[in-house]
Structure 1
């Protein structure tokens, strides 16, 4: 009967080695999420606001609401 020699488990520096690996992974994932939020949420939202306010005429809307009788104090 022959025995296969097993390698000894690493005991010293194991935490530091695992932390290094996980910190790099977490940094990469967080950068990906930040980029996704910027390009998928923030940029389209800014563009939508810019488009809305480019064509917005608040005085025209006010006059239409005044004609409709929404405001009681404005005549």
Structure 2
């Protein structure tokens, strides 16, 4: 009965499994890094760039001050 089953190869088993899993890990992490750069970071940079092209901080502050957003800054009276 024992002659029907081959003996398991135990020598070098850890090295073989580590090589396999390390290769998979490197492929997965490289793919995820590329996806994050081109799928998340670059569109976010473009969105910020587009927003700040026409953004006027002073104008925004004046609009918020007029609506009473700030408690310590009184709106200017004409």
Q: Which runs of 5+ in 2 are unaligned?
A: none
CA distance in 1, matches of 2:67, 2:28: 53
| Alignment partner, residue 21 of structure 2 | 22
TM-score by length of 1: 0.77
CA distance in 2, matches of 1:54, 1:39: 22
CA distance in 2, matches of 1:62, 1:14: 66
Q: Which runs of 5+ in 1 are unaligned?
A: none
Deviations 1:27-57 (A, max 9, x none): 1101101111111111111111111111101
**How many corresponding residue pairs?**
72
Q: Does residue 73 in structure 1 map to residue 66 in structure 2?
A: no
| Alignment partner, residue 43 of structure 2 | 44
Q: Superposition RMSD on alpha carbons, in Å?
A: 1.9
CA distance in 2, matches of 1:6, 1:24: 30
| Alignment partner, residue 53 of structure 1 | 52
Deviation at 1:11? Answer: 1.5
